[in-house]
Structure 1
Amino acid sequence: MGDIEAPGPNGPRQAVLHSILPSKEFASSTKGMLLIAEVALSLVSFVCFAASTAAAFVTVPLLEFLAALFLLFAYSTKFNERFKGFLWPLMDFMRCVTASIIFFTISIIAVSRYSDGASKAAGVFGFIATIVFALDFYLIFNELANFLKQGGESHDEPSRQQDEFSDSDSD
């Protein structure tokens, strides 16, 4: 009765939904869009492989779906910032590299060896997933390279200052 803390009829459901879904800022970022595409393509590829005669390949899309879903949740809720002990970019990079290689391999096999439509569809979605995962690991690699380049420059600065200081002492 007039209690301020009493939620409306849709209050708790919307609060739970907003805590699970990624924020608009993250979902509109490049990393967010890539992770959402990876989740969607892995899920579609999983469903296609499950419905095809190439059902032996169903494990790869399922594992990649779960890994991409976990990272989507971790990045969107800033879970990764709470656990600094993990090397998140390196873990994400390795996930994307292995996913693109394995998706490419199973897609070639699904398209070339199996003749049913679901296997062909799984192969096509696998090729699209390969491109998305490859784009993701390319962007992660560029970020890591820029980070290391900036780190290298910051280490060079003290040695330059020491060289300038020693040059001025000798004058």
Structure 2
Amino acid sequence: MGDIEAPDSNGPRQSALLSVLPSREFASSRKGMLLLAEVALSFICFVCFAASAAAAFVTVPLLEFLAAVFVLFAYSTKFNERFKGFCWPLTDFMRCVTASIIFFIVAIMAVSKYADGSSKAAGVFGFIATIVFALDFYLIFNELASFLKQGGESNEEPSAQRDEFSDSDSD
């Protein structure tokens, strides 16, 4: 019994927590900061709507929070590179477009229809979330447009195809 060591209680717990959090490189990137802002603003709007008279609008920030957390997790763990079934930039673009439109409408409704302070706060944070989501879809649109101008091919694929053709020609 003397040769069995006690496991370090902080080791596995700390590594499990770090595997869920986004990496430092991704969190400091432009996309990482935008996704973290989307998650935070959606959660703040959710809490404000839950505490307000406009509690009927609580579904919008909750769904956007869950979608932003999923995309943050997918990008930070590079799940999007392993799962090629979706066109991830287009999916992210559509998520941001719909979120910005819906947040804008809900924020206008919350500010104009309800008089309590938490509804007004939810509306203000909804307008800020609209700006963040709109900035994200603008940047994604620019990346998609430059990708389509290149003919829809990445730089790596044509060079790999050229290598295959030159290898088959030399046979």
Shorter-chain TM-score bucket reads 0.7 to 0.9
SS for the counterpart of 2:150 is helix
TM-score normalised per structure 1: 0.85
**1:90-149, Cα deviation, whole Å (9 max, x unpaired):** 110000000000000000010011000000000000000000000000000000001111
- Name the CA distance, whole Å, in 2 between partners of 1:146 and 1:2: 61
Shift of 1:9: 2.3
- Name the CA distance, whole Å, in 2 between partners of 1:9 and 1:152: 49
How many pairs does the alignment contain? 153
| CA-based RMSD | 1.7
Shift of 1:3: 6.3
Percent identity between the two aligned chains: 81
Q: Which of these two proteins has the greater Rg computed from alpha carbons? A: 1
Is the counterpart of residue 102 in structure 1 residue 105 in structure 2? no
Give the match for residue 40 of structure 1. 40
- Divergent runs of 4+, >2 A: 1-4
In the alignment, structure 2 segments of 5+ residues that lack a partner are 155-171
In structure 2, do the counterparts of structure 1 residues 7 and 25 end up closer, same or farther at CA, with 3 Å as the change threshold?
Answer: farther
Shift of 1:82: 1.1
In the alignment, structure 1 segments of 5+ residues that lack a partner are 155-171
**1:19-77, Cα deviation, whole Å (9 max, x unpaired):** 00000000000000000000000000000000000001000000000000000000000
Give the match for residue 138 of structure 2. 138
Q: How does 1:115-130 map to 2 (within 5 A)?
A: 115-130=115-130
Aligned amino acid, residue 93 of structure 1: F
- Name the CA distance, whole Å, in 1 between partners of 2:150 and 2:27: 28
Is the counterpart of residue 66 in structure 1 residue 61 in structure 2? no
Give the match for residue 21 of structure 1. 21
